[in-house]
Structure 1
Amino acid sequence: MSEDADLLCFLLDDREAAVRQAAAYALAAALPSPGHAPAALDTRLAREEDPVTRACLVLAIGQLAGEEGDPATVEQLREWWRCPDRPTDVRVSAALAWLCLVEDPILTELDVLLDSAVTDELTALLAPVPWLRDAQDGVKDNGLLVCLNQMRNPDDFPWLAEF
Protein backbone atom coordinates (compact mmCIF):
# COMPACT_ATOMS: atom_id res chain seq x y z
CA MET A 1 0.00 0.00 0.00
CA SER A 2 2.94 2.37 0.50
CA GLU A 3 3.57 2.41 -3.27
CA ASP A 4 -0.02 3.62 -3.75
CA ALA A 5 0.45 6.32 -1.13
CA ASP A 6 3.71 7.41 -2.76
CA LEU A 7 1.98 7.70 -6.15
CA LEU A 8 -0.90 9.66 -4.66
CA CYS A 9 1.50 11.98 -2.82
CA PHE A 10 3.37 12.50 -6.10
CA LEU A 11 0.07 13.47 -7.77
CA LEU A 12 -0.46 16.21 -5.19
CA ASP A 13 2.04 18.20 -7.28
CA ASP A 14 0.39 17.61 -10.65
CA ARG A 15 -0.13 20.64 -12.90
CA GLU A 16 -3.87 19.99 -13.09
CA ALA A 17 -5.92 21.09 -10.08
CA ALA A 18 -8.46 18.32 -10.67
CA VAL A 19 -5.69 15.71 -10.36
CA ARG A 20 -4.45 17.27 -7.11
CA GLN A 21 -8.02 17.30 -5.76
CA ALA A 22 -8.56 13.64 -6.67
CA ALA A 23 -5.22 12.67 -5.12
CA ALA A 24 -6.12 14.38 -1.83
CA TYR A 25 -9.51 12.65 -1.79
CA ALA A 26 -7.96 9.26 -2.56
CA LEU A 27 -5.29 9.68 0.11
CA ALA A 28 -7.94 10.37 2.73
CA ALA A 29 -10.46 7.79 1.59
CA ALA A 30 -8.40 4.82 0.54
CA LEU A 31 -5.46 4.50 2.87
CA PRO A 32 -5.72 2.14 5.83
CA SER A 33 -2.73 3.85 7.42
CA PRO A 34 -1.82 7.34 6.24
CA GLY A 35 1.96 7.11 6.81
CA HIS A 36 3.51 10.28 5.45
CA ALA A 37 0.33 11.44 3.68
CA PRO A 38 -0.57 14.14 6.27
CA ALA A 39 2.84 15.76 5.85
CA ALA A 40 2.49 15.68 2.06
CA LEU A 41 -0.97 17.26 2.33
CA ASP A 42 0.34 20.00 4.65
CA THR A 43 3.26 20.70 2.33
CA ARG A 44 0.96 21.01 -0.69
CA LEU A 45 -1.51 23.20 1.22
CA ALA A 46 1.26 25.66 2.10
CA ARG A 47 1.79 26.46 -1.58
CA GLU A 48 -1.60 25.69 -3.14
CA GLU A 49 -3.28 28.56 -4.97
CA ASP A 50 -6.45 26.87 -6.23
CA PRO A 51 -9.30 27.33 -3.70
CA VAL A 52 -11.07 24.06 -4.52
CA THR A 53 -7.83 22.13 -4.13
CA ARG A 54 -7.11 23.91 -0.83
CA ALA A 55 -10.53 22.84 0.43
CA CYS A 56 -9.79 19.25 -0.62
CA LEU A 57 -6.43 19.30 1.12
CA VAL A 58 -7.92 20.65 4.36
CA LEU A 59 -10.74 18.08 4.35
CA ALA A 60 -8.26 15.29 3.64
CA ILE A 61 -6.09 16.44 6.53
CA GLY A 62 -9.17 16.42 8.76
CA GLN A 63 -10.29 12.98 7.65
CA LEU A 64 -6.87 11.47 8.27
CA ALA A 65 -6.73 13.17 11.68
CA GLY A 66 -10.01 11.52 12.58
CA GLU A 67 -8.77 8.11 11.53
CA GLU A 68 -5.57 8.57 13.50
CA GLY A 69 -7.18 10.27 16.50
CA ASP A 70 -4.71 13.15 16.17
CA PRO A 71 -5.53 15.92 18.68
CA ALA A 72 -2.79 18.20 17.33
CA THR A 73 -4.45 18.31 13.93
CA VAL A 74 -7.83 18.94 15.53
CA GLU A 75 -6.33 21.98 17.24
CA GLN A 76 -4.63 23.04 14.00
CA LEU A 77 -7.99 22.94 12.19
CA ARG A 78 -9.50 25.10 14.92
CA GLU A 79 -6.70 27.61 14.49
CA TRP A 80 -7.23 27.65 10.71
CA TRP A 81 -10.95 28.44 10.88
CA ARG A 82 -10.33 31.10 13.52
CA CYS A 83 -7.59 32.87 11.53
CA PRO A 84 -8.99 35.82 9.58
CA ASP A 85 -5.83 35.96 7.48
CA ARG A 86 -6.53 32.56 5.91
CA PRO A 87 -8.54 32.35 2.69
CA THR A 88 -12.27 31.82 3.21
CA ASP A 89 -12.17 28.44 1.45
CA VAL A 90 -9.58 27.23 3.96
CA ARG A 91 -11.45 28.65 6.95
CA VAL A 92 -14.78 27.08 5.98
CA SER A 93 -13.19 23.74 5.07
CA ALA A 94 -11.26 23.73 8.34
CA ALA A 95 -14.48 24.48 10.19
CA LEU A 96 -16.24 21.55 8.53
CA ALA A 97 -13.35 19.20 9.25
CA TRP A 98 -13.11 20.40 12.85
CA LEU A 99 -16.85 19.93 13.40
CA CYS A 100 -16.55 16.35 12.15
CA LEU A 101 -13.80 15.65 14.68
CA VAL A 102 -15.25 17.19 17.83
CA GLU A 103 -18.43 16.59 19.74
CA ASP A 104 -18.65 20.20 20.87
CA PRO A 105 -21.70 22.23 19.97
CA ILE A 106 -21.15 24.83 17.28
CA LEU A 107 -19.49 27.80 18.92
CA THR A 108 -21.01 31.26 18.48
CA GLU A 109 -17.74 32.40 16.92
CA LEU A 110 -18.01 29.62 14.35
CA ASP A 111 -21.67 30.35 13.65
CA VAL A 112 -20.73 33.96 12.91
CA LEU A 113 -17.99 32.84 10.54
CA LEU A 114 -20.28 30.44 8.70
CA ASP A 115 -23.11 32.98 8.45
CA SER A 116 -20.79 35.58 6.94
CA ALA A 117 -18.48 33.38 4.85
CA VAL A 118 -20.86 30.89 3.29
CA THR A 119 -22.13 32.94 0.38
CA ASP A 120 -23.68 31.83 -2.89
CA GLU A 121 -20.30 32.47 -4.49
CA LEU A 122 -18.47 30.20 -2.02
CA THR A 123 -21.05 27.40 -2.25
CA ALA A 124 -20.78 27.47 -6.06
CA LEU A 125 -16.98 27.59 -5.90
CA LEU A 126 -16.76 24.58 -3.56
CA ALA A 127 -19.43 22.51 -5.35
CA PRO A 128 -16.81 20.24 -7.01
CA VAL A 129 -15.20 19.26 -3.67
CA PRO A 130 -15.71 15.47 -3.45
CA TRP A 131 -16.68 15.43 0.25
CA LEU A 132 -19.37 18.00 -0.46
CA ARG A 133 -20.58 16.20 -3.58
CA ASP A 134 -20.88 13.05 -1.45
CA ALA A 135 -23.00 14.98 1.04
CA GLN A 136 -25.47 16.00 -1.65
CA ASP A 137 -26.53 12.40 -2.24
CA GLY A 138 -29.29 13.30 -4.66
CA VAL A 139 -30.31 16.49 -2.88
CA LYS A 140 -30.62 19.49 -5.19
CA ASP A 141 -28.96 21.82 -2.68
CA ASN A 142 -25.25 22.40 -2.79
CA GLY A 143 -23.30 19.91 -0.68
CA LEU A 144 -21.83 22.66 1.49
CA LEU A 145 -25.31 23.81 2.48
CA VAL A 146 -26.38 20.22 3.13
CA CYS A 147 -23.36 19.64 5.39
CA LEU A 148 -23.93 22.83 7.32
CA ASN A 149 -27.62 22.11 7.76
CA GLN A 150 -26.83 18.65 9.14
CA MET A 151 -24.12 19.93 11.46
CA ARG A 152 -26.23 22.78 12.75
CA ASN A 153 -29.33 20.62 13.23
CA PRO A 154 -28.04 17.16 14.23
CA ASP A 155 -31.31 16.24 15.97
CA ASP A 156 -33.04 16.40 12.59
CA PHE A 157 -30.65 13.78 11.23
CA PRO A 158 -30.52 10.88 13.72
CA TRP A 159 -28.57 8.71 11.30
CA LEU A 160 -25.56 11.02 11.84
CA ALA A 161 -25.07 9.48 15.27
CA GLU A 162 -23.91 6.29 13.53
CA PHE A 163 -20.78 8.06 12.30
Structure 2
Amino acid sequence: MATWSVQAARQALTADADLLLPLLDHPDPAVRTGAAYAVSAAAAPARDRATAALQARLDVEGDPATRASLVLGIGELAWEERDTATIARTRTWWRDPVRPAEVRVSAALAWLCLVDDPLPTELDTLLDTEVTDRLVAVLDPVPWLFDADPEDGLRTVLTQMRNPDDYAWMAGTY
Protein backbone atom coordinates (compact mmCIF):
# COMPACT_ATOMS: atom_id res chain seq x y z
CA MET A 1 0.00 0.00 0.00
CA ALA A 2 1.32 3.42 -0.90
CA THR A 3 0.68 5.25 2.36
CA TRP A 4 3.02 8.01 1.22
CA SER A 5 0.54 8.92 -1.52
CA VAL A 6 -2.32 9.05 0.97
CA GLN A 7 -0.27 11.30 3.22
CA ALA A 8 0.63 13.55 0.28
CA ALA A 9 -3.04 13.84 -0.69
CA ARG A 10 -3.99 14.71 2.90
CA GLN A 11 -1.29 17.36 3.04
CA ALA A 12 -2.54 18.88 -0.22
CA LEU A 13 -6.15 18.88 1.02
CA THR A 14 -5.04 20.44 4.28
CA ALA A 15 -3.01 23.14 2.53
CA ASP A 16 -5.91 23.97 0.21
CA ALA A 17 -8.80 23.50 2.64
CA ASP A 18 -9.70 27.17 2.36
CA LEU A 19 -10.30 26.65 -1.37
CA LEU A 20 -12.62 23.72 -0.71
CA LEU A 21 -14.64 25.04 2.23
CA PRO A 22 -16.65 27.56 0.14
CA LEU A 23 -17.82 24.65 -2.03
CA LEU A 24 -19.89 23.46 0.94
CA ASP A 25 -22.29 26.27 -0.02
CA HIS A 26 -22.35 25.49 -3.76
CA PRO A 27 -25.85 25.35 -5.31
CA ASP A 28 -25.31 21.79 -6.60
CA PRO A 29 -25.73 19.11 -3.90
CA ALA A 30 -23.24 16.83 -5.68
CA VAL A 31 -20.58 19.52 -5.38
CA ARG A 32 -21.39 20.00 -1.67
CA THR A 33 -21.18 16.23 -1.13
CA GLY A 34 -17.84 16.03 -2.94
CA ALA A 35 -16.50 18.99 -0.98
CA ALA A 36 -17.50 17.34 2.30
CA TYR A 37 -15.71 14.16 1.23
CA ALA A 38 -12.55 16.01 0.25
CA VAL A 39 -12.48 18.31 3.26
CA SER A 40 -12.92 15.39 5.64
CA ALA A 41 -9.42 14.17 4.76
CA ALA A 42 -7.84 17.37 6.08
CA ALA A 43 -5.29 17.06 8.84
CA ALA A 44 -4.36 19.53 11.56
CA PRO A 45 -4.35 22.54 11.49
CA ALA A 46 -7.26 22.60 9.03
CA ARG A 47 -9.19 19.88 10.89
CA ASP A 48 -10.96 22.23 13.32
CA ARG A 49 -11.94 24.69 10.56
CA ALA A 50 -13.19 21.85 8.42
CA THR A 51 -15.23 20.34 11.25
CA ALA A 52 -16.79 23.71 12.06
CA ALA A 53 -17.65 24.28 8.39
CA LEU A 54 -19.23 20.82 8.02
CA GLN A 55 -21.25 21.35 11.20
CA ALA A 56 -22.43 24.80 10.05
CA ARG A 57 -23.49 23.38 6.69
CA LEU A 58 -25.31 20.47 8.35
CA ASP A 59 -27.46 22.95 10.25
CA VAL A 60 -28.88 24.33 6.97
CA GLU A 61 -28.49 21.44 4.51
CA GLY A 62 -31.64 20.27 2.74
CA ASP A 63 -30.29 17.46 0.55
CA PRO A 64 -30.39 14.03 2.28
CA ALA A 65 -27.25 12.60 0.63
CA THR A 66 -25.30 15.75 1.42
CA ARG A 67 -26.52 15.67 5.04
CA ALA A 68 -25.21 12.11 5.30
CA SER A 69 -21.88 13.17 3.81
CA LEU A 70 -21.56 16.04 6.24
CA VAL A 71 -22.16 13.72 9.21
CA LEU A 72 -19.70 11.12 7.91
CA GLY A 73 -17.16 13.87 7.25
CA ILE A 74 -17.49 15.15 10.81
CA GLY A 75 -16.90 11.61 12.03
CA GLU A 76 -13.89 11.10 9.79
CA LEU A 77 -12.27 14.32 10.96
CA ALA A 78 -12.62 13.12 14.56
CA TRP A 79 -11.26 9.62 13.92
CA GLU A 80 -7.51 10.11 14.43
CA GLU A 81 -7.90 11.68 17.85
CA ARG A 82 -11.18 9.97 18.75
CA ASP A 83 -12.57 13.37 19.65
CA THR A 84 -14.85 12.86 22.65
CA ALA A 85 -17.13 15.76 21.72
CA THR A 86 -17.77 14.25 18.29
CA ILE A 87 -18.34 10.82 19.82
CA ALA A 88 -20.97 12.33 22.10
CA ARG A 89 -22.48 14.40 19.27
CA THR A 90 -22.82 11.45 16.89
CA ARG A 91 -24.37 9.34 19.65
CA THR A 92 -26.87 12.10 20.34
CA TRP A 93 -27.70 12.37 16.63
CA TRP A 94 -28.36 8.66 16.08
CA ARG A 95 -30.48 8.48 19.22
CA ASP A 96 -32.61 11.52 18.25
CA PRO A 97 -35.89 10.29 16.70
CA VAL A 98 -36.62 13.78 15.32
CA ARG A 99 -33.56 13.76 13.06
CA PRO A 100 -33.96 12.47 9.50
CA ALA A 101 -33.08 8.82 8.89
CA GLU A 102 -30.03 9.68 6.77
CA VAL A 103 -28.58 11.73 9.64
CA ARG A 104 -29.35 9.09 12.25
CA VAL A 105 -27.89 6.21 10.24
CA SER A 106 -24.82 8.20 9.16
CA ALA A 107 -24.27 9.31 12.74
CA ALA A 108 -24.55 5.69 13.85
CA LEU A 109 -21.89 4.66 11.33
CA ALA A 110 -19.62 7.52 12.39
CA TRP A 111 -20.12 6.69 16.07
CA LEU A 112 -19.33 3.02 15.48
CA CYS A 113 -16.09 4.02 13.76
CA LEU A 114 -15.12 6.23 16.68
CA VAL A 115 -15.72 3.77 19.53
CA ASP A 116 -14.75 0.22 20.32
CA ASP A 117 -18.12 -0.46 21.93
CA PRO A 118 -20.23 -3.41 20.82
CA LEU A 119 -23.33 -2.58 18.83
CA PRO A 120 -25.97 -1.49 21.36
CA THR A 121 -29.40 -3.09 21.05
CA GLU A 122 -30.93 0.37 20.62
CA LEU A 123 -28.68 1.03 17.63
CA ASP A 124 -29.31 -2.41 16.16
CA THR A 125 -33.04 -1.69 16.32
CA LEU A 126 -32.54 1.72 14.70
CA LEU A 127 -30.69 0.14 11.80
CA ASP A 128 -33.37 -2.52 11.37
CA THR A 129 -36.15 0.05 11.22
CA GLU A 130 -34.51 2.99 9.40
CA VAL A 131 -32.53 1.21 6.70
CA THR A 132 -35.23 0.97 4.05
CA ASP A 133 -34.90 0.67 0.29
CA ARG A 134 -35.55 4.43 0.07
CA LEU A 135 -32.70 5.20 2.46
CA VAL A 136 -30.37 2.81 0.66
CA ALA A 137 -31.14 4.57 -2.64
CA VAL A 138 -30.35 7.94 -1.04
CA LEU A 139 -27.16 6.86 0.71
CA ASP A 140 -25.50 4.42 -1.69
CA PRO A 141 -24.06 7.24 -3.86
CA VAL A 142 -22.51 8.91 -0.78
CA PRO A 143 -18.74 8.62 -1.37
CA TRP A 144 -17.87 6.71 1.82
CA LEU A 145 -20.51 4.09 1.10
CA PHE A 146 -19.94 4.02 -2.65
CA ASP A 147 -16.24 3.37 -2.00
CA ALA A 148 -17.18 0.40 0.17
CA ASP A 149 -19.37 -1.17 -2.52
CA PRO A 150 -20.69 0.69 -5.59
CA GLU A 151 -23.54 -1.81 -5.94
CA ASP A 152 -24.81 -1.95 -2.36
CA GLY A 153 -22.74 0.42 -0.22
CA LEU A 154 -24.90 0.98 2.84
CA ARG A 155 -25.91 -2.65 3.24
CA THR A 156 -22.32 -3.82 2.75
CA VAL A 157 -21.03 -1.38 5.38
CA LEU A 158 -23.77 -2.38 7.82
CA THR A 159 -23.06 -6.08 7.35
CA GLN A 160 -19.38 -5.48 8.05
CA MET A 161 -20.00 -3.26 11.07
CA ARG A 162 -22.56 -5.60 12.56
CA ASN A 163 -20.25 -8.60 12.10
CA PRO A 164 -16.70 -7.28 12.63
CA ASP A 165 -15.33 -10.70 13.59
CA ASP A 166 -16.15 -11.94 10.09
CA TYR A 167 -13.89 -9.30 8.52
CA ALA A 168 -10.22 -9.61 9.45
CA TRP A 169 -9.47 -5.98 8.60
CA MET A 170 -12.12 -4.84 11.10
CA ALA A 171 -11.26 -7.34 13.80
CA GLY A 172 -7.56 -6.49 13.58
CA THR A 173 -6.66 -10.11 12.84
CA TYR A 174 -5.09 -9.67 9.45
TM over 0.5: yes
RMSD, aligned CA: 1.5
Unaligned stretches of 5+ residues in structure 2: 1-11
1: distance between equivalents of 2:127 and 2:104? 9
User: Does the residue aligned with 2:59 lie in a helix, a strand or coil?
Assistant: helix
2: distance between equivalents of 1:151 and 1:118? 14
**Matched residue, 1:17:** 29
Would the aligned equivalents of 2:165 and 2:171 in 1 still touch at CA under 8 Å?
no
Describe the shift of the 1:10–1:106 C-alpha distance in structure 2 as closer, same or farther (beyond 3 A).
same
CA drift at 1:158: 1.0
CA drift at 1:101: 0.6
**Matched residue, 1:97:** 110
CA drift at 1:68: 3.3
CA drift at 1:63: 0.3
User: Does the residue aligned with 1:8 lie in a helix, a strand or coil?
Assistant: helix
**Matched residue, 1:52:** 65
Counterpart code for 2:78: A
In structure 2, which of residues 38, 46, 52 is the aligned counterpart of residue 26 of structure 1? 38
CA drift at 1:69: 2.6
**Residue identity (%):** 59
Unaligned stretches of 5+ residues in structure 1: none
1: distance between equivalents of 2:88 and 2:117? 13
2: distance between equivalents of 1:83 and 1:89? 12
2: distance between equivalents of 1:69 and 1:154? 19
In structure 2, which of residues 125, 139, 160 is the aligned counterpart of residue 150 of structure 1? 160
CA drift at 1:3: 5.4
Counterpart code for 1:126: L
Q: Deviations over 1:133-154 (max 9, x none)?
A: 1111x6x4x1100010001111
2: distance between equivalents of 1:26 and 1:125? 20
2: distance between equivalents of 1:94 and 1:35? 19
CA drift at 1:4: 1.2
Equivalences for residues 1-163 of structure 1 within 5 A: 4-29=16-41, 31-33=42-44, 34-136=47-149, 140=151, 142-162=152-172
1: distance between equivalents of 2:104 and 2:72? 11
1: distance between equivalents of 2:17 and 2:161? 31
**Matched residue, 2:4:** none
Counterpart code for 1:9: L
Paired positions, count: 159
What TM-score, normalized by structure 1, do the two folds share? 0.93
User: Does the residue aligned with 2:113 lie in a helix, a strand or coil?
Assistant: helix
What TM-score, normalized by structure 2, do the two folds share? 0.87
Q: Which runs of 4+ in 1 moved over 2 A?
A: none
Counterpart code for 1:76: R
